[in-house]
Amino acid sequence: MTIEKSPLAPSEFASLKTIGGAQPRVSRAQYKQWDRCDLTFVELGEGTTVAGVTTRSQCPSPEVEWCRDALTHGKARALIVNAGNANAFTGNRGRAAVEAIATKVSGHLSCEQSEIFICSTGVIGEPLPIDKAEAGLEAAFSAPEARWEEAAHAIGTTDTFPKGASARAMIGDTAVQISGIVKGSGMIAPDMATMLGFVFTDGAIDAKFLQDLLNRATAKSFNCITVDSDTSTSDTVLVFATGKAGNAPLASFDDAGANAFAAALEQVCLDLAHLVVRDGEGASKFIEIAVEGAEDDESARRVGLSIANSPLVKTAIAGEDANWGRIVMAVGKAGEPADRDRLSIRFGATQVARNGVAVEDYDEAPVAAHLKGDAIEIGIDLGIGDGRATVWTCDLTHGYISINADYRS
């Protein structure tokens, strides 16, 4: 299956900084019949702390369960990512594959198995072949250090371009770098994070505080995107802090530089989340939905996602049809507090409905022009409170059907 690069892709891969204490390598395990690297191994220096969020799917992969257990220890020495095979819904054979990988990598690094983090993505229902995983790991152990762009490409499945983002923060007099990569294109309606995302920093951050920071960043980024309303069995986002920058360790928001680091981490997560939407399967338009006037922020987010997940809204935008009645429908079905007679809607800068009725004699020409672009803005004011949230999605085209009808071939 040949997939054309998304028209919403950035012109080039972001310039990501090397992170001291994090060395990525890639190899070919050949989980699928493709001519590319599909196993990523990132060796992490001693003392690396880790935080993570995982899917709320009730059918998680054994890799997700492994990461959940490992996160309770807060320490990491390696990350392994397998692409092309999700190893989900595979019973004891799937668990055996994860244990075999952990055993091999922990032996190679002379560390505890709980310091090994494993993720897999791809086809559900096919056990990960242990022989291919072990051969791929052997190749990765001796491979030259890879660029972040190579690692970002190796973790992808139906992704049409590699995705990365970076930021910098000052902690006292020390400059701390953050670099992240992500994969995701379809099966995106995160209930925690996106499909697979990995962020690395050379900052020294206490594991519990790092978890708090990631939870906050996730709530404003990965949990505010959707492509198709489907949550994966394998969704995982991990943040690794190697401490090699030499800053005074952060343990709470009372520490100098904590707010700056939190803002930088949030920006990296938001940039990565946006890239996932820009690579939505078959996408031709990037859509921002800003909701205000809700009962509270969480209610605003739910209303926004109701609009973003609506096939009727998404296909209307694909067809460049300013059918704001579909937005009224999506607000109404969200199950959140709303008042029909206070609802207002805009496309771009043009108000099309106010206080429950269409704006009299509004000019549809600027709306039509706005919808012909590839960056669409929709504004909703519920008029009942101070809650607000912004979510992001893409349009729904026939390309989504074509990609997923042929996914396993």
- Nearest CA-CA partner of 388 in 400, 399, 396, 380: 380
Cα–Cα distance, 234 to 11 (Å, whole number)? 29
> Is 409 labelled a binding residue?
yes
> Is there a contact between 402 and 160 (Cβ–Cβ < 8 Å)?
no
Is 236:117 a contact under the CB 8 Å cutoff? no
Q: Is 288 a known ligand-binding residue?
A: no
Output the six-digit token pair for 394. 């893409």
The answer to whether residues 5 and 228 touch, using CB atoms and an 8 Å cutoff, is no
CA distances from 276 to 16, 112, 162, 266, 285 (A): 17, 33, 10, 15, 13
Asked whether the beta carbons of 374 and 323 are under 8 A apart, the reply is no
Could you give the angle at which helices 258-278 and 207-220 cross, rounded to 10 degrees?
40
174-183 and 116-123 strand pairing: unpaired
Per the annotation, does 226 bind a ligand? no
The two three-digit tokens of residue 276, written as one number: 């996932």
Amino acid found at 40: T
- Quickly list DSSP for 344-372: EEEETTEEEEETTEEPTT--SHHHHHHHT
Task: Give start and end residues of each alpha helix (H) in 13-141.
Answer: 62-71, 91-109, 130-141
Would the annotation count 32 as a binding residue? no
Of 194, 201, 242, 397, the catalytic one is 194
Per-residue b or e along 227-253, where b marks 16 or more CB atoms closer than 10 Å to that residue's CB: bbbebbbbbbbbbbbbbbbebeebeee
92 is in an annotated binding site: no
Strand order from edge to edge, sheet including 375-381: 357-358, 350-354, 344-347, 375-381, 286-294, 387-394
206 phi and psi, to 5 degrees?
-60, 140
- Is 75 annotated in a binding site? The answer is no
Tell me how far the alpha carbon of residue 296 is from its chain's centroid. 24
- The reply to whether 194 belongs to the active site is yes
Strands (E), 220-368: 236-241, 286-294, 344-347, 350-354, 357-358
CB 158, CB 403: distance < 8 Å: yes
User: Where is the binding site for substrate, in residues?
Assistant: 157, 183, 194, 281, 404, 409
Q: Which residues are catalytic?
A: 194
